[in-house]
Every structure is written in C-alpha cells, then in structure tokens.
Amino acid sequence: MELDGRIIVKYNFAYLFTALIFLLVLGVHYSQNKQIRTNNNLLFRIIYSLGLLDIILDIFVSFMIENPSPTTTGILNISLVFFYVLQILFPYFFLVYTYSLQENSDKQIKKMVICISTVTFIGVLFMVVNPFFGYIYSVDAFGNYIIGPYYHLVYIYCFVYLLMAGFGSILFFKQIGKKNFITIWEFVFIILFFVFVQFKRPDLLTTGLGLSLGIFLFYLNTNNPEYSIDQLTNMLDNSQFPALYYLIEKEKKRMYLLVIDLYNLKDFNKIYGIYYGDVLLKKVAKHIDYKKRSASYSFRIKGNRFLVCCTDRNTYKLRKEEITQFLKKESEGDIPLDSLLIQMEDLSSFTNPDALIDYIEYLSQSIHKEKGFYYLEDTIKTRKGYEWYLSIESYITEAVDKNLFSIYYQPIYSLNTGKYDSAEALTRLFHPKLGQLNTELVFKIANEKGLQKKISKMQFENLIEFLQENPDIYLYLDHIKYNVSPVELMDEEHINFLIQCIEKSKLDFSKFKFEITEQISLKYSKEVDRVVDKLKNYGIRLILDDFGTGYSSMYSVLSLPFETIKIGRSLLKDIESEEKIYIFYKRLVDTFHRLGYTIVSEGIETENEWELLRSFHVDYLQGYYCSRPLDDKAFLAFCRKENS
C-alpha cells in the first residue's frame, strides 16, 4: 500500500523469478546457434539484454524497497537510476527493432534514431538527475521508496512508444509482412495487459513476465535461429547468405568463397538409398562447418551444394586446403564421393547475392563431370563465358518478345511408300552474330526463365500460319510432327490452346502428330491420362520420342496410347561394330511391330545405317543422311522435288 507517498507493500516475486528463468533458458538456446550479425539480430540481442537486466534489477530494487534500511539508501538510489534508465531505453530499442523488420531497414533505422533519440536522451538524463529533485521517485534517509508527482510519466512514455511501434507496423505493413505485424501487436497487448495488472496490483510484479513473454514472441517468430538452420546438416541455410553478403559489403571487407557441389548426389541416392545420402551430407557438413572460426561461415545453399565464405585470406587458404584434401580422400574411398570444388576470390563485380548465386550455378554446370573430384577456379575466362551466357539469356528474352524464333522442318522417309511423306517441326533460334544457337542450350535457358510454354505457343501459331499459307503441302505430306514437352502435356490450358489453334485454322486434326519425350513416364498421372484422351478424341495422334535416351520404361510405352515410337540415335550408335547392339535393336523393332506400333529410326547419318535399318523393316527413317532440317522455303522445294 501507499502511505504519504511511501511504498509499503509485501511483494510476490514469483512472476519475476519465472520471467528470469524463462529468459535465461531462452538466451542459452539462442546463443548456441551461429547467426549472421544483421541489424535485426543485433537489435534483438540488445532488447533481450535490456529485458534481462530490467528483470534482474526489478527483483533487486523490489527486494530493497520491501526491506528498507538507512544503510542501503545509496545503493537503492543508484539501482533505481539504472532500473528507470532501462525503462526508458527498452521502449526506444523496441521501437527501433520493429523498424529493423522492414526491407532496406538500414535507412529506416537511421531515420528512426534521428527522430526519437533526442527524446530518449532527455528521458535518460531526466532519470539520472532525478535523485536530486525527486520528480519520479525519491528515497528518504530511512531507505523508504517514495513515488514522485510525475511518476506516471514513465508509464505514459512507454505507452507512447508502444503505440508508435504498433501504428508504425500499420503504416509499413507491406514492408514488414503479416507475420511481423501480428507479432508486434501481440507484444504491445501483452505488455499493456501485464502493466495494467501490476498497476492495479503493485504487489504482483507482473511487468517483467510480460516483458519476457514479448521477447519470446519475437524470438519465436522473427529471430528463431532454427528458421535459418538447415535441419539435416545443422548449417546456415540459403536464406542467410544474402544477410552475410550485405553485412560484409557494409563493413567494406573482402569475401572469399568455396563452393562444394556433390554433383552426383541423385545417383548416389539411387544406388545406396536416401538414408545413406543423408549420412553423406552430414559427413560433408561436419567437416566443412567450423562454427568456432569467426572469419568462416558455412551454408547449405542447395540440396547438393555447400558454400564456405571467409572474410580474410589466411582463413580462406586454410579452409581451401582442408576441404580439398577431404574431398580428394573421399573420392578415393570405398564408397566414392563425387564432388566439385569451386574457388572464388574476387567478388567485387557482383552487385547482389542473387547474381553471385546465379554465377555459381553457371560454373557448376559449365564443366563436364563424370566421376571423382573436380576443381574449378573462377577466372577471367570463366567470367567471359558467363557474360556470353548472360547475353544469350538476354537475346532469348528478346526473341520471345519479338517472335524471332524460326521453324525448320526435317523430312522423314517412309519405307512403306518410298517417299518423304512426313516431317518434324523443329525450333531454331539464330543470333545476329553467333548464328544458330544450340537448341538444347536455348531450351535449358528458356525453362529456367519460365519461357518454354510461351515459345511453344508462339511456334505452334507460326506452324499453323505456314500450313495455311501453303495448303498444297499435304499433297506431299501425310502429317507434321510437333514436339510437346512433358510439362506442356500436363498443362491442360496449354493443350487447349494448341487444340483451339487447329480449330480456328480449319485444318484437319489428323494431320498433326504430337511427339512426347519418354520422360513423361516419370511424370505419368491421371491428369496426363485425361489430357491424352482429349487429344485422342480430337484425332491428334501421339508419338513416343527419343526412346532409349536414358528414361526408357516399357510402362511408358504401354500405358499411354502411342501409335508411333521413335528410337533415338543413342541405341543406333556402334550398331555396325557391336553384335549385341545389332541384335538388341533388331529384336526391339520386331517386338514393337508385334505390339502394333509404327517405328521411326532417328539419327541416320550413313548409308550403311540406312541399309541396315531398311533390312530391319522399320517404317520411317530420319536423320542427316536423309536430310538436314530445312527452312520453310527450302523444305517446300525439297518436298516438291522428291515427290514430283
């Protein structure tokens, strides 16, 4: 109770001790994980430390207030000064912390510090000189704590700062996101609730518990190290690399990188099982992740890729030597580890971490890897290669926007009619300086940039236009083959677009055959079955393309209504010199014929191959020996000449 301004009360310390234990356990758990020193993390540590000190001092001063003594007056006065300074600083840093949750928070924090630091400084100064004036509190000669006339200003100050944080979260909702917005307001309500409880029942000392619960909320939702840790390897994950990148850039330090790529991890999992694949990842992670080295940070940035970042050259050289020896040794073990180590020393030309990650992906894909340990150094040559790659990326985007792709037609010879009575429509892209670009590279980049379906639609419209402008083409051809990828086949909207194009053109559906690569066997589903039935109902016939290129499955042949199977060149290679290949190819053709399929042999390059496959009685022959892909004018001329 209060008597002549003096506090005479029997305190219940249970809530404060609960809050203290709660925060100590939280601090131990938080400190066990290595983290990037971002502004947000730094500010969280500050408000955690302030909250912890506030609770400790609250226990101490409450005990002394409860047990006044003339001999402890000075100690109580000093303790109260520190305690109330914390009461001023905590709302300030909490407000700054909420602003650090925004994107581009550095600028926001600077603005916040400028705007409110003066008020906070005045508040701290006021608390320091308060013992001389007693405006907030005073301690008499007997050690009694006496509240001052302006005691409630502390509550008003805290209340204003909490509301500023809350309304700031409303103002910058898009920048901080829904999750952080909810957390800020939960914190505000928790603090206000427990302050209100203590205001009504001063003996309960509940403010400290509210403070600890609020800090726990932010730990759980915005600063939980577990969210940035890869659960399998216990390393920092890819979300933390940008934070380190910008921190090093801000501190004007140099960054050195080592990239470890376990390029055959999928094959390892297939051979030994996923369990042993995970054991392998943990083993690699344990070796390269040295948490005790402050100048070295390790990340798992992809399923099979690790990144070690060093901020000084000596640590970098040491880590490179250690990791190189480890990977070389593992590549020669009983269960060999296939790996690529990429060394990068000059990163000054990269403007952001995303650009750096893209370059790492390019380097990883730039060399042919089979088995064993490979080493690649970032050099002027690799940078130029990447610049070329980026120029191709840019040109592909431009080509899509301007419809610069071409269709070339490769004639297909029918052994049944003795004529070139069909053709495959192939996509080609020509660069003004480099000439024809590698089609495989073009589609790889297009897939990465999400342009594959757009190119397919555009090319099909170009094909339809060509057929409409040259109606006599079907005097020579029975049908045109057009490639549809598994991704496109599984997109019903895309298939509907192709169907609508044919409907609008008034062309005969039966004049089209869609070639689908055998990868579809890996993605087969009821959805695919439904789309295939739709094509079949419209009279569009299906061809299984590139049979034997690595994804072969008799299930893929028998499960979908293909009428034609194209056997890829990979099964034709060495057929003249290897008896086993000869026997296998011949019996494969016989088997498919007995099952009722039409057979196209792809990749015919020599006269001997031509004659050999004629003797196997395949139905169609396709390849450079028959004809190279031709542009529309050359193709028309070829058809008229060969079938005149």
**Banded model confidence at residue 3, pLDDT cuts 50, 70, 90:** very low
User: One-letter amino acid identity for 425?
Assistant: A
Helices 39-66, 105-133: axis angle to 10 degrees equals: 20
Distance CA(518)–CA(525), nearest Å, equals 14
Which residues make Cβ contacts (< 8 Å) with residue 592, sequence separation at least 6? 557, 565, 599
Run of H or E including 9: none
Predicted pLDDT at 296: 84
In this prediction, residue 368 carries a pLDDT of 77
Tokens (6 digits) for 271:
């051979």
Cα–Cα distance for residue pair 421/414, rounded to 1 Å: 6
Whether the predicted pLDDT of 410 surpasses 90: yes
The per-residue b/e assignment along 2-12, b for 16 or more CB within 10 angstroms, e otherwise, is: eeebbbebebe
* Helix boundaries (H) for 251-371: 265-272, 274-288, 313-331, 353-366
Q: What percent of the chain has pLDDT over 90?
A: 50
| Cβ count near 500 (within 10 Å) | 10
Decide if 367 contacts 374 (C-beta within 8 A): yes
Q: What is the pLDDT of residue 129?
A: 93
pLDDT at 554: 67
Per-chain mean pLDDT for the chain:
87
- For tokens 């909250």, name the residue: 51
Model confidence over 97-134: pLDDT tens digits? 888 887 655 555 666 666 688 889 999 999 999 999 99
Sign of CA dihedral 414, 417, 419, 422: negative
Strand partners, 375: 341
For residues 438-457, average pLDDT: 91
d(CA 87, CA 569): 78
- Mean pLDDT over 150-169 rounds to 89
CA distances from 480 to 41, 302, 445, 638, 644 (A): 61, 42, 26, 15, 19
**Average pLDDT estimate for 552-562:** 67
Q: Name which of 611, 148, 303 is nearest 601 in CA terms.
A: 611
Whether 25 has a pLDDT exceeding 90, the answer reads yes
pLDDT of residue 545: 85
Residue 5, pLDDT above cutoff 60: no
Position 550 confidence tier, pLDDT thresholds 50, 70, 90:
low
CA distance linking residue 364 with residue 359, whole number of Å: 9
Give me the sign of the Cα torsion angle 493, 498, 502, 504. positive
**What is the torsion angle, in degrees rounded to the nearest 10, for the CA atoms of residue 480, residue 484, residue 489 and residue 493?**
-80
Q: Provide the CA 499 distance to its chain's centre, in angstroms.
A: 35
User: Coil, helix or strand for 562?
Assistant: coil
CA distances in angstroms from 587 to 323, 557, 590, 615, listed in the order given = 50, 16, 5, 12
Q: Is the pLDDT of residue 616 over 80?
A: yes
Q: Please state the pTM of the whole predicted model.
A: 0.74
Q: Is the dihedral of CA 249, 255, 260, 261 positive or negative?
A: positive
Residue 555 has pLDDT above 80, yes or no: no
Average pLDDT estimate for 218-222: 88
Tabulate helix, strand, coil % of the chain (nearest 5).
60, 15, 25
Q: Contact 306/235 with Cβ under 8 angstroms?
A: yes
**pLDDT at residue 2 in the model:** 44
Taking residues 185-209, report their average pLDDT.
90
Q: Tens of pLDDT along 356-400?
A: 999 999 999 888 777 889 999 999 999 999 999 999 999 999 999
HSE-up of residue 298 (Cα within 13 Å, Cβ side) = 22
Per residue in 33-72, pLDDT (tens digit) is 767 777 788 889 999 999 999 999 999 999 998 888 889 8
C-alpha closest to that of 207 among 146, 158, 144, 166: 158
pLDDT at 379: 92
| Percent of the chain clearing pLDDT 70 (strictly above) | 92
Residue 202 pLDDT class (50, 70, 90 cuts): confident
What are the CA-CA distances from residue 385 to residues 359, 379, 390 (Å)?
A: 10, 10, 9
The residue whose two tokens read 């694949």 is: 277
Average pLDDT over residues 435-443: 91
Residue 633 to residue 630: CA distance in whole angstroms: 8
Two structure tokens written together for 196: 């209100």
**Per residue in 65-91, pLDDT tens?**
888 888 989 999 999 999 999 999 999
- pLDDT for 155 equals 87
Query: Which has the minimum average pLDDT: 200-209, 549-558, 584-593?
Result: 549-558
